[in-house]
Chains A and B, each alone.
Chain A
Amino acid sequence: MNDGPGFWRVVGLVAAKDLRIEWRSRVALNQVLPFAAIVMVLFAFAVDRLPRPAASATTETLLQTVAPGLVWLAMLFSLLLLVQRTFAVEADDGALDALRAAAVDAAAVFWGKTAALATQLAALYLLLLGTALVIYGAELRTSGIGLLAATWIAATLGLATVGTLYGGLAAGARGRETLLPLLLLPVVAPVLIGATRAVEAALGTGGTAVADGWPWVGVVGVFAVAFGAGGTLAFGALIDE
């Protein structure tokens, strides 16, 4: 069983390989990032001119109010592209078959790919949040930084585990480009709900307190743990064909 390289070594190798491919091909940088940026601009077109409810006492613009949710929505759309990408890389030249033939632990491959995907998502979120600060006028507050960081880690991990799992499911199948969104978007709904509420609390959107946000980080954390465990158990059965 344990003849090959150790678990963590495989995780590290697979993650480093994926990140190196992304760095050299620049697909994430040149295509996914501009895509996410244009999505955020389009969101602004869609909601900016809607009138505020007359009764609301806040001085926020509508864009400021919805900014946390829009950033996570842009993240979900980008996730679809990144997941397609991370398994397209494996499908080319029979790379996934080679990986299987190397007789390494499938769970280690799962966590390696998850780590690479989570790294890309985490970087993307920082850029998109920065964009939201600039073009949506969202504002950070120092008391919410801890909550924001916790949400950032938990949500990118959750999205990466579930993305790798469902990406592996659709990998190598005809028609996966259209199938993946149908499979993935319903599953990540809890992350969208939880991460949006947590970031709202961290930024103080609509007058929410920082303390209101921590239960939502819990929701996202439970999600990440559940699908991390699911992926550890099921990934081997999915790619072993």
Chain B
Amino acid sequence: MIGEHVADTLATEPSAASDDVASSGTATRATRLLGAAALVGVAWLAAFGLGFSPADRDQRESVRILYVHVPSAWLAYLAFVVTAVASGLYLFRRSHALGWDRVAGASAEVGVLFMGITLVSGMLWGRLTWGVFWEWDARLTTTAFLFVTYVGYLAVRGLGGSHQQRARRSAVLALLAVLEIPLVHWSVRLWRSLHQEATVLRPDGDVKMDGLMLFTLFVGIVAFTLMYAWLVVHRQRTLAAEDAADDAGLDRALAARRAEVG
């Protein structure tokens, strides 16, 4: 919605302000370095995950899915924690800086992406290892709720209104999610404990993990964290540009109206 607005602004009236937005880009020297490091990390992950690391004794080749699944789950949780912290900083600081709001929004977008990857990769792995795509386990169910909750959060960010209005609404929602998710997890765990015989489908080989497998997982987490940082920095900058274009469009409209009247 905001994106269309920017496109409109750029198309109809190429003034100085929108030229700045269009031409400067969002990369700096530091983010290019970060992006390159993320790329190298992903290449390493591919090499270790698909090539060097051995197949698992029980799970065989399907264990390689976990090198994507576990890092993306970790990343999604990190992203949602960052969203909550940035929302808190926005809401409780006197300045109500929109910068924190944009960090929260950018982080949530990336988090939803990684949570989606977590769910899909987890289901594929589950089909191969457990024989079913979905198991009504507390952790799986909570993850699905987490995903839907942050899809809702992103929808609230798209509601419109002023930037401060958007920031306040979404910050409250992000903090409510911190309240909601433990409650959902707790209740679902109680629900399962009464209705399901002990979960037999847990992978139990985790404790004695092969050294190379552990290293591959570690590479995955580092690579995905770099990628996350890179995505959030860029997304936060494009969000800032969108807000600036929004404001510039409003200023121009006001000026035009004043010129008409005067």
- Which residues does A use to contact B, with CB under 8 Å? 165, 169-170, 173-175, 179, 182-183, 186-187, 189-190, 193-194, 197, 215-216, 219, 222-223, 226-227, 230, 234, 237-238, 241
Contact = CB atoms under 8 A, between A and B. Distances in A.
Interface stretch (B39-47, B102-110, B184-192, B211-219): B184-192
Given A175-B159, A234-B175, A169 B169 contact: yes
B160 interface: yes
A190 B186 contact: yes
Given A187-B180, A197-B191, A237 B186 contact: no
Contacts of B151: 182
B173 A169 contact: yes
A194 B149 contact: no
Given A190-B186, A219-B187, A230 B156 contact: no
B187 A189 contact: yes
Contact of A190 (B159, B168, B184): B184
B161 interface: yes
Contacts of A193: 187-188, 190-191
A127 B173 CA distance: 33
Closest 6 CB pairs of A and B: A190-B187, A173-B159, A183-B152, A182-B152, A193-B187, A234-B172
Nearest to A229: B179
B176 interface: yes
A24 B35 CA distance: 62
Interface string B112-124: 0000000000000
Interface residues of B, number: 29
Contact of A226 (B145, B152, B169, B183): B183
Contacts of A226: 179, 183
Given A190-B184, A190-B187, A165 B176 contact: yes
B91 to A, nearest CB: 7
A45 B169 CA distance: 40
Contacts of A189: 145, 184, 187-188
Interface string B175-207: 110011001101110110010000000000000
Nearest to A222: B183
Contacts of A241: 161-162, 165, 168
A194 B187 contact: yes
B156 A186 contact: no
Contacts of B17: none
A190 B183 contact: yes
Contacts of A223: 183, 187
A142 B28 CA distance: 72
B90 to A, nearest CB: 11
B176 A234 contact: yes
A241 B176 CA distance: 19
A183 B156 contact: yes
Given A189-B145, A237-B172, A219 B184 contact: no
Nearest to B151: A182
Nearest to B158: A175
A24 to B, nearest CB: 31
A211 B159 CA distance: 46
Q: Which of A179, A187, A219 has the most CB of B within 10 A?
A: A187
A186 B152 contact: yes
